[in-house]
Structures are given as C-alpha cells and as structure tokens.
C-alpha cells in the first residue's frame, strides 16, 4: 500500500518545512528585538511589545514588520511607505 506511505511522507516533509519557516521567523524577530533594545535601551519584552504594536497598527504580520526593521532600520508605522497606505 504505497499511497498511505506517500501521504505520511508528504505530511512529514510539510511539517519539517513549517518548522524551518518558524525558526527563520523567530530568528528574524529576535534580530529586530535586538535592534530595538540597542537603539532605545529597553528590555527584550518592551522591544517585542513595540514590534507587536507596530504589527497590529499597520495590519502587517509581525514577521514582516521585523524583516522590514532588520533590512531598513525603520519601524513600520501606519502611513509609512512600507505599509502601502
């Protein structure tokens, strides 16, 4: 019965891919938190809250807000060019 084996293999490979994406997102968010900590001399928790608020206010995924900060050095705010508003 090769079909059930293929389905299990497919599900496993998908799970592994999702875990890899989650780790990459976590690393990117960690970089952004570090940038904010250094820039504003705040704690990791405070930096994460800033990122979360920026994500919520701009309606952009936290990972994408973190990526923008890591690449540009700028925090996304509502109405900024990165939000498209």
Q: What is the DSSP string of 7-68?
A: HHHHHHHHHHHHHHHHHHHHHHHHHHHHHHHHHHT--HHHHHHHHHHHHHHHT--HHHHHHH
Q: pLDDT at position 2, please?
A: 60
User: Which pTM value belongs to this model?
Assistant: 0.74
How many structural domains are present in the chain? 1
Q: pLDDT at position 38, please?
A: 97
Domain that includes residue 34, residue range: 2-83
Q: Average pLDDT per run of 10 along the chain, which is 85 residues long?
A: 70 81 93 97 98 95 96 83 58
């Amino acid at each position: 019965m090769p079909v059930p084996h293929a389905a299990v293999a497919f599900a496993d490979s998908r799970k592994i891919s999702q875990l890899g994406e989650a780790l990459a997102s976590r690393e990117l968010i960690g970089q952004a938190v570090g940038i904010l900590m250094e820039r504003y001399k705040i704690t990791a928790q405070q930096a994460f809250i800033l990122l979360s608020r920026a994500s919520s206010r701009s309606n952009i995924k936290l990972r994408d807000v973190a990526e923008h900060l890591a690449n540009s050095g700028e925090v996304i705010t509502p109405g900024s060019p990165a939000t498209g508003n």
